[in-house]
A and B are shown apart, each in its own frame.
Chain A
Amino acid sequence: MSTPSPALRSDLQARGRSRTDYLTKPGTLAIVRPAGGADVDVAAADPETLEPFVVVEADGTVTAFNGHVDLGTGIRTALAQIVAEELDLGFARVAMVLGDTALTPDQGPTIASETIQITAPALRSAAAQARHFLLARAAERLGADVSELCVDDGVVSRRPATTGDSAGQAGAQSRGDNRYLTYGDLIGDDVIRLALAENVPVKPVEQHRIVGRSQPRVDLPHKATGGLVYVHDMRVPGMLHGRVVRPPYAGVDAGDFVGSSLIGVNERSIAHIPGIVAVVVQGDFIGIVAEREEQADAALRALAVKWKPTPTLPDLSDLASAITKNPSTPRVLLDQGDVDSALENVAVRAPRTYTWPYHMHGSIGPSCALADVSDGRVTAWSGTQNPIPLRNDLARLLDMPVEAVEIVRMEASGCYGRNCADDVTADAALLSKAVGRPVRVQLTRDQEHLWEPKGAGQVMTVDGGLDADGRIVAYDFQTRYPSNVCHTLPLLLTGKVPPTPVVAQMGDRTAIGPYDYENKRVVCHDMAPIVRASWLRGVSALPNSFAHECWIDEMAEEAGVDPVEYRLRYLKDSRAIDLVNQLAERAEWEPHVGPRKREDEAGILRGRGFAYALYVHSKFPGYGSAWAAWVADVAVNKHTGEVSLTKVSVGQDSGLMINPDGVRHQIQGNVIQSTSRVLKEEVTFSDIAVASREWGSYPLLTFPELPPIDVMMVPRPNEPPLGVGESASVPSAAAIANAIYDATGVRFREPPFTPDRVLAALRAAGVSPQADAPALAPPPAVTTTKSRKKVLMPLIAAALGAIGSLGVTTLPWRSAIPPIAPPDPSVFSAATIARGEQLAKLGACFVCHTAKDGAPLAGGLAIDTPFGTIWSTNITPDPDTGLGRWSYPAFVRAMREGLHRDGRHLYPAFPYTSYAKSSDADLQALYAFLMSVPPVRNSVPEPAFGFPFKLRPLMAVWNTMFHDATPFAPDPTKSETWNRGAYLAEGLGHCSACHTPRNAMGAEETGAAHFSGGEAEGWHAPALTSKNPAPLAWDETALYDYLRTGWSSEHGVAAGPMAPIVAELKVFPDADIRAMAHYIASYTDAPPRETIAAQAKTLEEKAAARLHITTETAGGRLFAGACAVCHEQGRGPALFGVKPSLALATAVHAETPDTLLRVMLEGISVPDLDALGAMPSFLHHLDDGQLAALARYVRARFAPDLPAWTGLEATAATIRAHAVPQGRPAEAVTASTEP
């Protein structure tokens, strides 16, 4: 268990100390407030009923308490600055405790940029009050007047007299007195408790030394070095790991099916996973507790759960209509003048609708929490934004008194509103209560995406108009905002809280707008949620301002006035006017009317847009935080529809800035995040649930897209400090939309402004040329391979006829070879055994004869064949269930003729048809090896073949028809290398077993069909001839690389059943690998190396030239977010492992998409091949539609000359049904540890 970072001696160190500890310790001065505003004598009251604000201890430590938490904005640093300033202490002396329900004051949730504006004044006051108290004491002891004293880092002395009249100046000073007292001296052993007073004088701004100066953040040294800071890092002894299984109605939390959709959980489905401690089911809540995290994770994916069907959602692809149809109640916020009459008399009437999409908070770290429910108490370590409400929720969920619950707030991934932090804390509490041990629950990426309460969509309609003079005379603004108050999820899932929708009144933020129009009506239509939602940075103010600020821009053009000048006509607030003027000047705003459509020769259109907002938040009518304005410069590519921000100039008036660097970071962060939201982000939905489950389907702004940002901070040190956490986001969307309009003359009223949406509108408006051939046009149909069964039927019939004519009675039954006593392995030389082991690997004996989780070579692996399932046999020397009683002749007969020791015929899933070619010496070595491995007792099932294949004697006929048992004979016309390669590849290597097609009777086809492609475990085994579908021919070099390392830069990574084969070949010398490569290359008809290299270059260049289609399509954007990090050549970081080029990949050039889709669903894990890296499975993160879009894009981008695939979505669904994610996590917990 790691220890807390020492300098963050705050939240965690505070833990373990109660209010009583803080408030009764001798040598403390505490400023407190009676909880709940009770009127009590704080000196006599129970300390637990007192909320401390500032505690000064005699040892010089100062601890300050705030109910609000640091959501990653650096508020901890700013609050400490305020306390240090008012106490005249060095900044480093102050520790902050934030949001610990056992200690900190109840100041409500950390929302609406309120901390500095609303909660900090009390803290400032408390610190000032402590200072006044200490100064008064010092004055008494020093026999001086308070006004004669000064404080320097907690040391009080008489102010030096100066020759001039201004105090504190350096220079000609004389010390009036050399006596001093520290705060510690002044407190002594006393226990001093003072009630937080009102109207305490605070230091004037001119005397500030710490506030108003940039202060490095206290948390970063620890965050940058791996200290214990985040809730994700919290560990306690005895801790278990939990995962939750969420219902299929992902992201929907209202409706009678919520909490009552579970039919059943089949716990046996995870019986194979070790370490499971409990499966906890309560209503629709399902949790799994395990000893290890990856065990819980594997169980989450493996647990079989049955749910009732989920009701469908309204069609959210037409959001404006879905929101408008959602039942609502109008609430008039303002009705000024006579809007209706004014509307009737306007010269220009301009009704407009603006639509805002659902957004995600998008925390980079999925939520996590740790809870310990024991001895009737709950301690929960949480990243919550709302410690006090969460405390109540946990008490309700667990049926425990609120006083028994403590929330220890720790830092978490930034949330910008409410993410799943509360949900996961409740999950952890439920699971800990169930198992009686501390449980840490980590949500997965898909769960955070699916279930985080979304930033709600919104529809704003404006009806208004101008008079003949171009004045705005009517403004009728209506806003529709689906509610955002969501319950902590486990309360709903367990049925503790009924799933009735809550209608909140939160659509009204900044709904009034800043412009003073004569006739103005503002109505908010309050409505129930459509999907689970909560506040997200800027809440409803950002969409409302989008509408206000776009509409006034549109009207400026109607009126023939510059948009900035037009705004100023209607702004009455002097600070707003100053800000707008100053920013316009700084950004060198060029007054203009209407769109300028400045275009360069490359078809790039450039424009500028302006927007302004005073973010008015909190319960209506609310109050303003910082003022903000934007000038956005955009470049729009008319050929691709791409919009890039070339510059953002942003101005903000924040009042007094406590930590100016912190304010600047907030402004920049708001600019970047809101740019991302406006240009790229939109939650997508299936017909029942949220569909975006990873970053490909919900892309964020990346570094190369970052615009230059010019920040103008208006100095207002004498004005009260204002919240800065959200303001700079609010003008974003309108400024960008206004800039795009200036560039193109096309008005966009619904973000995100993605290339496909922009291009479609530009084409519709005639700005962009019509596409010659759309990048991803519907393809001509491809004939898909006919179903195997149909093709094979006639053959099967013919073969059966042949067998029938032979007559069953004439079928030979071969004699048994007598059993022997198991040979003593010591009779074999070590060298022979070692050689045998190598050959066993060439023969892939381990691959087929070792079951998942089973002992090596003990058999039991199920192999699906077209004729039924067969289980590999036990080939360890166990006398009863393995080969123990097999003599060498019996072994050789099996290897050459396909016969069991007892005379039964074996099926050719065992490739004796190839093994027969092995030399006696090699078979002897192989026998020696198999007889020397540890015997394992393991019986395997009989093959589950249907008639006629279950008749083993028929195999005699089969052998007669298809098997040639002659050992390998070298071809004297070929080289020694070729012959060696042929021996290895055609014998024990049995390449043809998978790479050659089989006839209806399951026999390899011969002649030209040899190596012409087959099937292995449901994977297509490509041809090893010139028919190979790879865009580049396989020559000896490529084959050697691939067989040696599992990777060829011209082809890719050995995946599927080929990966273990290559891994087994590791033990073979280079010469043998080279020989196999040489032999196989004799079939591929490859051109010279230089030609292949040139072809590769051409293919790469072609793919690079089509990079643009990445941003233009949803499939391309998925690729950019999910795949490009490892597959886009020439982009991104150098990463451990290989970077397979899709322009060269066989799967991308194959006739069918099956292999590509399968790899996406299952991933690739090659743990036995070194330094290749791994590809994760996207089974749980991409749905069939997303996979189809991705595959369509990949084909169009990387194999543009081949016909597009069809039926992708259906194929994806079929492959998904049988997909088994490779490598991890399930296998991680079940694979046996190596001996």
Chain B
Amino acid sequence: MPRTTVNGEVHELALPRATPLLSVLRNDLGLNGPKFGCGLGECGSCTVLVDGVAARACVLTLADVENHSVVTLEGLGTPEKPHPVQAAFIATAGAQCGYCLNGMIMTTAALIAANPNPTEDEVRETLRYNLCRCGSHVEILAAVRLAIEWSHR
């Protein structure tokens, strides 16, 4: 039975190993954070962290995260106690419709964890393949700047 850790909790799932990870997270574990956007890894709205690295859940299977640790948006923080990156996105209104927000937050969280002081260019480059259709890019970049600042506190 595939075994994986999601948001700190170990799950043994009676599912085929080839089950799409996104489906497991959303439908079996009832998580809303990772969103289905394209199923091709193009848009980033399904982003989760696997062992702390950003991963596109729509192209991974349960087998890919077997014995790895997955963190979703829910695993970062709550409305009452948000993660600094979540808090920064809320504070700067880094979203309009918010469908891409999960991917923006998770990708940013992974970036800051790996590189605590990214430059503006590095931030833009990291988010290059996270698509936002509402055009919230200005607020998102402001959120990332704030998140970098808050992550040092």
Residues on A facing B (Cβ under 8 Å): 1-2, 5, 7, 71-74, 216-217, 219-230, 232-233, 235, 241, 292-294, 361-366, 368, 411-414, 416, 442, 444-445, 661, 665, 668-673, 676, 694-696, 700-704, 706, 709, 1121-1122, 1124-1126, 1131-1137, 1165, 1167-1168, 1171, 1173-1176, 1178, 1181, 1223-1225, 1227-1234
Measured between alpha carbons, how far is A602 from B132 in the docked complex, in Å? 32
CA distance A942 to B74 in the complex (A): 54
Interface residues of B in 130-147 (CB under 8 A from A): 130-141
Tell me the dominant secondary structure on chain B's binding face. Answer: loop
Instruction: Write the B10-27 contact mask toward A (1 if CB under 8 angstroms, else 0).
Output: 000011111110010011
Q: Tell me, rounded to whole Å, the shortest Cβ–Cβ distance linking A1177 to chain B.
A: 9
The interface residues of chain A lying within 8 Å CB-to-CB of B114 are 1134
Q: Is the CB of B98 within 8 A of A223?
A: yes
Report the minimal beta-carbon distance from B96 to chain A, rounded to whole angstroms. 5
For A1125, the chain B residues whose CB sits under 8 A away are: 41-42, 44, 56, 128-129
Any A CB within 8 A of the CB of B148: no
Flag if A224 contacts B95 (CB, 8 Å): yes
Q: Which residues of chain A are near B129, meaning CB under 8 Å?
A: 702, 1124-1125, 1132-1133
Query: Which residues of B, 50-93, contact A by the 8 Å Cβ criterion?
Result: 50-51, 53-56, 58-61, 63-64, 68, 72-74, 76-79, 82, 86, 89-91, 93
CB-contact partner of B19 in A365, A704, A1228, under 8 A: A1228
- Given A220-B98, A672-B137, A1223-B61, CB of A225 within 8 Å of CB of B56: no
Q: Nearest chain B CB to A1199's CB is how many angstroms away?
A: 24
Q: Is the CB of B32 within 8 A of A1134?
A: no
Is the Cβ of A363 less than 8 Å from the Cβ of B59?
no
21 examples of A-B residue contacts, CB within 8 angstroms: A71-B97, A72-B96, A224-B82, A225-B82, A226-B33, A228-B32, A230-B32, A241-B27, A414-B96, A668-B135, A669-B135, A670-B135, A1125-B129, A1132-B125, A1133-B127, A1133-B128, A1167-B63, A1174-B61, A1174-B64, A1227-B18, A1233-B1
Point out the residues of chain B lying under 8 angstroms from A696, CB to CB.
42
Q: A225-B78, A413-B133, A1167-B64 are in contact. List 18 more A-B contacts (CB 8 A).
A: A223-B95, A226-B31, A228-B32, A364-B45, A412-B97, A445-B38, A673-B133, A694-B40, A700-B131, A703-B123, A704-B125, A1125-B44, A1133-B129, A1167-B17, A1173-B59, A1174-B61, A1224-B61, A1228-B18
Q: Cβ of B110 < 8 Å from any Cβ of A?
A: yes
User: In the bound complex, how far is the Cα of B134 from the Cα of A323, in angstroms?
Assistant: 29
Chain B 109-124, CB-CB to A under 8 Å as 1, else 0, gives 0110010000001011
Partner of A294, one of B19, B111, B125: B19
CA distance in complex: A1086, B114 (Å): 36
CB neighbours of B45 from chain A (8 A)? 364-365
Q: In B99-115, which residues have CB < 8 Å from any A CB?
A: 99-102, 105, 107, 110-111, 114
Complex CA distance for A1126 and B51, rounded to whole angstroms: 18
Chain A residues near B128 (CB-CB < 8 A) = 702-704, 1125, 1131-1133
User: Does the CB pair B73–A225 fall under 8 Å?
Assistant: yes
Indicate if the CB atoms of B134 and A1133 lie closer than 8 Å: no
Residues of B within 8 A of A235 (CB): 30
- On chain B, the residues within 8 Å of A444 by CB distance are 39
- Do residues B105 and A232 form an inter-chain contact, with CB atoms below 8 A? no
Q: Is the CB of B18 within 8 A of A1223?
A: yes
Known: A224-B101, A226-B72, A1175-B59. A668 touches B139 (CB 8 A): yes
Query: Is there contact, CB below 8 Å, between B125 and A1131?
Result: yes
Given contacts A1134-B53, A1134-B114, contact A1224 B40 (CB under 8 A): no
Docked Cα-Cα span, A1156 to B139, in Å, equals 39
| A671: B residues at CB distance < 8 A | 135
Smallest beta-carbon distance B9→chain A, Å: 15
Residues of A within 8 A of B76 (CB): 225
Give the CA-CA distance A1175 to B16 in the complex, in Å: 19
Contact residues of B with A, CB < 8 Å? Answer: 1-2, 14-20, 23, 26-27, 30-33, 35-45, 50-51, 53-56, 58-61, 63-64, 68, 72-74, 76-79, 82, 86, 89-91, 93-102, 105, 107, 110-111, 114, 121, 123-141
- Residue of B at shortest CB range from A1133? B126
What's the nearest-Cβ distance from chain B to residue A1042, in Å?
19
Chain B residues within 8 Å of A1181, by CB: 40
Contact of A363 among B23, B51, B133 (CB under 8 A): B133
A216 touches B136 (CB 8 A): no
The 5 A-B pairs at the shortest CB distance, nearest first, are namely A72-B97, A672-B135, A1167-B63, A414-B97, A1136-B55
> Which chain A residues border B18 with CB–CB below 8 Å?
1165, 1167, 1223-1224, 1227-1228, 1231
Q: Are A1224 and B20 in contact (CB under 8 A)?
A: yes
Please pick, from A442, A1133, A1233, the residue contacting B110 in the complex, using a CB distance under 8 A. A1133
How far apart sit A294 and B68, CA to CA, in the bound complex (Å)? Answer: 22
* A1167-B61 in contact given A220-B89, A226-B33, A670-B135 (Cβ < 8 Å): yes
Question: B residues within 8 A CB of A412?
Answer: 97, 99
CA of A413 to CA of B98, assembled, Å: 7
Specify the chain B residue showing the minimal Cβ separation from A228.
Answer: B32
A775 to B37, CA, bound (A): 33
Q: Are B97 and A411 in contact (CB under 8 A)?
A: yes
Distance, CA A1181 to CA B16, complexed state (A) = 25
Which chain A residue has the least Cβ–Cβ distance from B63? Answer: A1167
Report yes or no: A220 in contact with B93, Cβ–Cβ below 8 A: yes
Closest-by-CB residue of B relative to A1174 is: B59
A695–B42 CB distance below 8 A: yes
With contacts A220-B98, A414-B134, A1176-B59 known, is A2 near B42, CB below 8 A? no
Query: Once the chains bind, are A7 and B38 in contact (CB under 8 Å)?
Result: no
**Chain A positions within 8 Å of B64 at CB level:** 1136-1137, 1167, 1171, 1173-1174
Q: A668 near B138 (CB under 8 angstroms)? A: yes
A437 to chain B, nearest CB (A): 15
Q: Are B131 and A364 in contact (CB under 8 A)?
A: yes
- Whether A1122 contacts B93 by the Cβ 8 Å rule is no
In the complex, are the beta carbons of A293 and B138 less than 8 A apart?
A: no
A124–B124 CA distance with the chains assembled, in angstroms: 41
Decide if B93 touches A665 in the complex (CB within 8 Å). Answer: yes
Whether A216 lies near B134 (C-beta < 8 A) is no
Across-interface contacts of A1231 in B (CB, < 8 A): 16-18
Interface contact B36-A229, CB-CB below 8 Å: no
Identify B74's interface contact among A223, A225, A293, A1175, CB under 8 A.
Answer: A225
Which residues of A sit under 8 angstroms from B97, Cβ to Cβ? Answer: 71-72, 364, 411-414
Report the bound CA distance from A73 to B111 in whole Å.
28
Q: A364 to B136, alpha carbons, bound, how many Å? A: 13
How far is B128's CA from A220's CA once the two chains are assembled, in angstroms?
A: 23
| Option from B15, B17, B73 in Cβ contact (under 8 Å) with A226 | B73
Q: Which residue of B lies closest to A442 (CB)?
A: B36
Is the CB–CB distance between B56 and A704 below 8 Å? no
Q: Tell me if A709 and B138 are in contact (CB < 8 A).
A: yes
Chain A residues contacting B30 (CB-CB under 8 Å) are 1-2, 235
Contacting pair A695 B54 (CB below 8 A): no
Contacts of B93 in A (CB 8 A): 74, 216-217, 220, 661, 665
B126 contacts A1132, CB within 8 Å?
Answer: yes
CB-based contact B36/A2 at 8 Å: no
Closest chain A residue to B132, Cβ basis: A364
Q: Is the CB of B32 within 8 A of A226?
A: yes
How far is B128's CA from A71's CA once the two chains are assembled, in angstroms? Answer: 24
Beta-carbon nearest neighbor of A1126 in chain B? B41
Chain A residue with the shortest CB-CB distance to B108? A1133
- Contact status of A413 and B99, CB under 8 A, knowing A293-B27, A1174-B64, A1232-B16: yes
Q: A87 to nearest B CB, angstroms?
A: 24
**CB distance A223 to B101 under 8 Å?**
yes
In the assembled complex, which residues on chain B have CB atoms less than 8 Å from the CB atom of A1230?
16
Shortest B22–chain A CB gap in Å is: 9
* CB-based contact A5/B36 at 8 Å: no
- Shortest C-beta distance, A725 to chain B (Å), equals 10
A1175 CA / B56 CA spacing, docked (Å): 11
State the CA gap A364–B90 with chains docked (Å): 20
Instruction: Tell me whether A73 and B73 are in contact (CB under 8 A).
Output: no
Residue pair B110, A1134 in contact (C-beta under 8 Å) = yes
